[in-house]
Amino acid sequence: MTVPPLLTALDVDGAGAHPAAAALFGLAPADLVSGARLARAVRHAEHAGLTFVTFADAASPSVPGDPAQARLDAVTRAAFVARTTTAIGLVPEVPTTYPEPFHVATQLASLDLAASGRAGWLAAVTPGDAAPAAYGRAPVADLGREARDVVQVVRDLWDSWEDDAVIRDVATGRYVDRDRIHRVDFAGESFSVVGPLITPRPPQGQPVVLARAGDVAGPGRDGERLVDVVLVGGSGAAEARAAARAVVDGDPGARAVVEVQVVLHAAGRSGADRLAELDAGAAGPWAAGAALRHVGTPAGLVALLAELADDPAVAGVRLLAAELDADLPVLARDVLPALRADRRTAAPRGGATLRDHLGLTRPENRFAGAARATA
């Protein structure tokens, strides 16, 4: 095969991706979200050879009032493990709908600095009434358009400093060359941002932007690609591969990553039994949403991932493990080594950037050579 290695990602939120995982976790909420547990899970994922981890987030809980819904801010979590890891990519989910785009740009640039070029951004949208009530704002009607404007201005802001803006010229006493720092003067449908960013351009130039298919109305200004990695799914492998094909047919430079819910045979219990117990602990069965689902043996998951790996349209998979403590050890022991032995996956290299692992080049700066920030 000449297909590049399959990218493997894992979400590391809380007790796991199943809504009842936290309730069955058996520890206090403060322990569920502790720094020690988080660092352990991400280190385990790095040792298992995963390409990147994602940090699911939402400002509002799915079950209001339930302490089992404990969850910390995703960028803060990702930053906490920036220096406890050296190779794995760190991709927090940050909504585009209500937060301030200027803060989002600063936070993600800062994460990329702390993680030496391993940051990504899962740009999400927030439907519903809970978030506008939390922010005291009117609900955003067009989520896709708002997401487009936010991703656009965040990308503009990341480029607002040229890479060589800091000159430290002792002779003239100038720390920066002000001609290499630029206002962005962005005016979107619902907000405007002048810039420049308060943080220098991050190591990757632009951290990697991920989004679920259809969330970000694109393309950006002048046809710019706003989303580097598109998350797709389907009711089965064939449908997911077709969705991936549609992504790369529309934009050969984009990467398609298939989302897969996973409940594995673990600790002597079948995946089906485990899922039944989890579903019984939740308000209803685990919704598949857009994701594929594998409930069963590690060998079965290896076969599914091999099929996806062999399709040139599929760049990677994001695994949504029902229970991290049960499923991650099985992934690390029985699934990922088998794929690596077949050269279908490769562990990330220390010192490389997330862009390197995704085969994305470091982008040129859109403002390089343009008029200076403040005329």
We find the least distance from the C-beta atom of residue 37 to another protein, in angstroms, to be: 10
CA nearest neighbour of 207 among 98, 314, 90, 315: 90
Residues from 12 through 31 that contact another protein (CB under 8 A): 28-30
Size of the site for another protein (CB under 8 A): 75
For residues 71 and 58, give the distance between their C-alpha atoms in angstroms, rounded to a whole number.
8
Sketch the per residue contact string, 160 through 199, with another protein: x for CB under 8 A, - otherwise. Answer: -x----x-x-x-xxxxxxx--x--------xxxxxxx-xx
**Helical axes 143-158 vs 101-114, angle rounded to 10°:** 50
- Select from 21, 38, 291, 292 the one that contacts another protein (CB under 8 A): 38
CA nearest neighbour of 103 among 83, 136, 76: 76
Sketch the per residue contact string, 63 through 92, with another protein: x for CB under 8 A, - otherwise. Answer: -xxxx-xxxxx-xxx-xxxxxx--------
Gyration radius from the chain CA atoms: 21
Contact (Cβ atoms closer than 8 angstroms) between residue 330 and residue 10: no
We find the least distance from the C-beta atom of residue 123 to another protein, in angstroms, to be: 16
For residues 348 and 270, give the distance between their C-alpha atoms in angstroms, rounded to a whole number.
31
For residues 225 and 355, give the distance between their C-alpha atoms in angstroms, rounded to a whole number.
15
We find the least distance from the C-beta atom of residue 220 to another protein, in angstroms, to be: 19
- Select from 26, 27, 128, 133 the one that contacts another protein (CB under 8 A): 133
Q: How many CB atoms lie within 10 A of CB 103?
A: 11
- By CB under 8 A, tell whether 354 contacts another protein: no
Report the residue number, 109 or 258, with the smaller CB distance to another protein: 109
- By CB under 8 A, tell whether 235 contacts another protein: no
Residues from 106 through 125 that contact another protein (CB under 8 A): 106-107, 109-111, 113-116
Report the residue number, 202 or 233, with the smaller CB distance to another protein: 202
